[in-house]
Structure 1
Amino acid sequence: MRDMARMVLVLTTVCVVAALGLAKVYDLTEEPIRQALREELLRGVRAVLPPFDNAPDQDARVVNGRTYYVGRKGGRVVGAAFEAASPEGYGGWIRALVGVDREGRVTGVVILQHAETPGLGAKAADPGYLAQFRGKSLRSANWAVKKDGGDFDQITGATITPRALVKAIREALEAFEAAKSQIFTPGGEG
Structure 2
Amino acid sequence: MKKKESTFSSFISPILVLVLICFVVTFALAMAYGVTKPIIDKNNLKESNKAKSELIPEAKGEFKNYDGKLVVVQKNKIYVTEASKAVNGSGVVVTVNSNSYGGTLTAMIGIDNKGKITNVKIMSAQDTPGIGTKAQDPKHLGQYKGLSDLGSETIKDSKSKVKYITGASISSQAIHESVFAGLKQYKAMGGAK
Moved over 4 A (4+): none
Unaligned runs of 5+ in 1: 185-189
Q: Paired residue for 1:132?
A: 143
TM-score (norm: length of structure 2): 0.82
Read off the aligned partner of 1:109 and give its amino acid letter: V
Residue from 101, 107, 125 that aligns with 1:114: 125
The equivalences for 1:87-106 within 5 A come to 87=99, 89-106=100-117
Deviation at 1:171, TM superposition (A): 2.2
Between the aligned partners of 1:157 and 1:77, the Cα distance in structure 2 is 39
Between the aligned partners of 1:54 and 1:162, the Cα distance in structure 2 is 29
- Percent identity at matched positions? 26
Deviation at 1:39, TM superposition (A): 1.7
Any idea what the Cα deviations from partners look like across 1:81-124, whole Å, max 9, x if unmatched?
0112212x111111100111122110111011111000011122
What secondary structure is seen at the aligned counterpart in 2 of 1:175? helix
Paired residues in the alignment total 175
Change (3 A) 1:133 1:82: same
- 1:69 is aligned to 2:84: yes
Q: Paired residue for 1:81?
A: 93
Deviation at 1:160, TM superposition (A): 0.7
Q: Whose Rg is larger?
A: 2
Q: Paired residue for 2:36?
A: 29
Structure 1 window deviating more from structure 2 (22-31 vs 110-119): it is 22-31
Unaligned runs of 5+ in 2: 1-6, 71-79
Q: Paired residue for 1:187?
A: none
Read off the aligned partner of 1:179 and give its amino acid letter: M
Between the aligned partners of 1:178 and 1:24, the Cα distance in structure 2 is 42
Q: Paired residue for 2:73?
A: none
Kept in 2, the 8 Å contact 1:144–1:151? The answer is no
Any idea what the Cα deviations from partners look like across 1:145-173, whole Å, max 9, x if unmatched?
2x431221212211111012102211221
Any idea what the Cα deviations from partners look like across 1:118-153, whole Å, max 9, x if unmatched?
001112222222111110012x644542x4312212
- 1:172 is aligned to 2:182: yes
Kept in 1, the 8 Å contact 2:49–2:61? The answer is no
Kept in 2, the 8 Å contact 1:120–1:156? The answer is no
